[in-house]
Amino acid sequence: MEWAEEKKELDWREIKEKLLGEVLPNHMKYWWYCLGGIPALLFLTLVVTGIMLAFYYVPHPDKAFESVANITNNVRFGWWIRGIHRWSAELMVVTVSLHAIRVFVTNAYSSPRELCWVTGAVLLLLTLFTAFSGYSLVYSQQSYWAVVVGSGLAAKVPVVGDLIARFMLGGPTYGPNTLNRLYILHAALMPTILFLFIFIHIFLIRIHGVTEHLAGIQAEIIRGLSRDEE
C-alpha cells in the first residue's frame, strides 16, 4: 500500500472507508435484520463447490446419474463437497425467502428503496430457478419428473409460456438436449446473472443505506430503560 501510494497519490484508507465503512442502525445487531448477507456468502460457497463438482459431472442422459454416484462414492471428499453444495443451495433458498419476508413485513421496500425491492424479488426468482435446474441435474426419477412438471407449469404462462418451456427443454419435449441445456443454465448463465443482480442490489443498498426500523429502535429504547431501572 505504501509503494502504491508513492506511485499514485491516493489515500487508500479513505478509499477503504468509503467502500467498506458504514454507520449502521443499532437494531442491525439482531440476526433477523442481517439475513441479506447470508445468501451472498452461500452464493460464493456454491460457486466454489460447483466448480469442483463440474470437473467430474457429465451432463449426458446415459452418464449423469452415474457421474453423481461416482462423485459421492469414489471421488476423494466428493460426498463432502456435494453435501456442502446441496445444503448451501437449500439454505440460500430459505434465507433469501426469509429476507424478502422480513423486508416486506418491516416496510423496508418503500421509497426511496423501490429498486432494491425489485432487484431482490428478481434475485429470489433467480435463486429458485437455479436451485430447480441444479436439482434436475442429478437425473434421478424424482428430478426427471420435476423437470417434466416444471416445464408443464412454465408452458401455462400466458403468451411466452411455450417459448419458456422450449427454452428449458431444448425442444418441444424432454430429450437428449434437455440435460445439457439445464447444465449450461445452472453452471454458467444463472450464476452470471445472479452475480450481476447481487452487485446491483448491494450497490443500491450502499447508495440508500440501511433502513432504520421504528420497531427495532423502540425495542432498544425499552431495553435500555429497563437496564437503567435495574
Cell numbers 462414492 correspond to 73
Contacts of 49 (CB under 8 A, 6+ apart): 81, 82, 84, 85, 88
Express as a percent the part of the chain with pLDDT over 70. 79
Decide if pLDDT at 21 tops 70. no
| Contact by Cβ (8 Å): 111, 117 | no
Q: Tell me the average pLDDT across 14-19.
A: 64
- Alpha carbon distance 128, 95 (integer Å): 12
Half-sphere exposure of 183 toward its Cβ, with a 13 Å CA cutoff?
18
57-99 pLDDT, tens digit each: 999 888 999 999 999 999 999 999 999 999 999 999 999 999 9
Instruction: Note the pLDDT of residue 223.
Output: 53
Fold of 35-207: Cytochrome Bc1 Complex; Chain C (1.20.810)
pTM, to two decimals: 0.78
Residue 102's pLDDT band (cuts 50, 70, 90): confident
Contact predicate 42/88, CB 8 Å: yes
Cα 68 to Cα 57: distance, rounded to the nearest angstrom: 6
| CA separation for the pair 41, 171 (Å, rounded) | 35
Residue spans of the domains in the chain: they are 35-207
Residues 6+ positions from 158 with CB-CB distance below 8 Å: none
The amino acid at residue 114 is E
Q: What is the CB neighbour count within 10 angstroms for residue 170?
A: 17
Does position 228 have pLDDT exceeding 60, yes or no?
A: no
Question: What cell does 55 get?
Answer: 470437473
User: Rounded CA gap, 173 and 216, in Å?
Assistant: 52
125-163: per-residue pLDDT in tens?
999 999 999 999 998 888 888 888 988 888 888 888 899
Between 148 and 225, residue with greater pLDDT: 148
Identify the pLDDT of residue 99. Answer: 92
The predicted pLDDT at position 159 comes to: 87
Q: How far apart are CA 86 and CA 49, in angstroms?
A: 9
pLDDT at 13 over 60: yes
**DSSP letter, residue 191:** H
